[in-house]
């Protein structure tokens, strides 16, 4: 019985984290997700958020954006798309450019079995570029 309760609790936490992630375009950090999800699940720990993000990534439901020295970001939109990372404010934005399958094809011609590619642009976002 207790095992069932525990797994119900676990899946509720996972669903809540995914719901928060899917409701935003901000590509939040784990800490930002933790703050938002705690409004619904007050006792949720940051460690639990990290564990759930790992599981969701493994399930292919979450995109993990590894961000060099800055904090990693997470995306509930797993369709192929590109990102822009702002050097000034740290924002991670969706880049409104179409996915380029010809890059996958070119890589495949080099003998690689290609599952897809990701592309992060870096520079200054439109808001930070304003004089
Ligand atoms: Zn910016
Ligand atoms: Zn995105």
| pLDDT tens sequence across 37-70 | 999 999 999 999 999 999 999 999 999 998 777 7
What is the phi/psi pair of residue 13, to 5°?
-60, -45
Please tell me if the domain spanning 1-76 has the same topology as the one spanning 79-131: no
In this prediction, residue 2 carries a pLDDT of 63
Ligand nearest to the CA of 86: 1
SS3 label, residue 85: strand
Distance between Cα 95 and ligand 1 center (Å): 13
Report domain extents, the chain. Answer: 1-76, 79-131
Q: What is the pTM of this model?
A: 0.87
Please, what CATH class does the domain formed by 1-76 belong to? mainly alpha
In this prediction, residue 122 carries a pLDDT of 93
Taking 50 as the pLDDT cut, the residues of the chain under it are none
In this prediction, residue 1 carries a pLDDT of 53
Distance between Cα 26 and ligand 1 center (Å): 12
For domain 79-131, which CATH number applies: 3.30.1490.190, 3.20.20.140, 3.90.740.10, 3.40.50.720? 3.30.1490.190
């Amino acid at each position: 019985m207790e095992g069932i309760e525990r797994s119900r609790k676990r899946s509720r936490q996972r669903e809540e984290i995914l719901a928060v992630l899917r409701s935003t375009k901000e590509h939040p950090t784990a800490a930002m997700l933790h703050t938002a999800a705690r409004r619904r699940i007050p006792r949720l720990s940051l460690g639990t958020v990290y564990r759930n993000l790992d599981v969701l990534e493994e399930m292919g439901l979450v995109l993990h954006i590894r961000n060099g020295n800055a904090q990693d970001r997470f995306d509930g939109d797993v369709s192929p798309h590109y990102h822009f990372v702002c050097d000034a404010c740290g924002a991670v934005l969706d880049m409104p450019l179409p996915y380029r399958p010809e890059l996958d094809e070119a890589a495949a011609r080099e003998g690689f079995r290609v599952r897809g590619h990701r592309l992060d642009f870096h520079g200054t976002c439109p808001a930070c570029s304003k004089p």
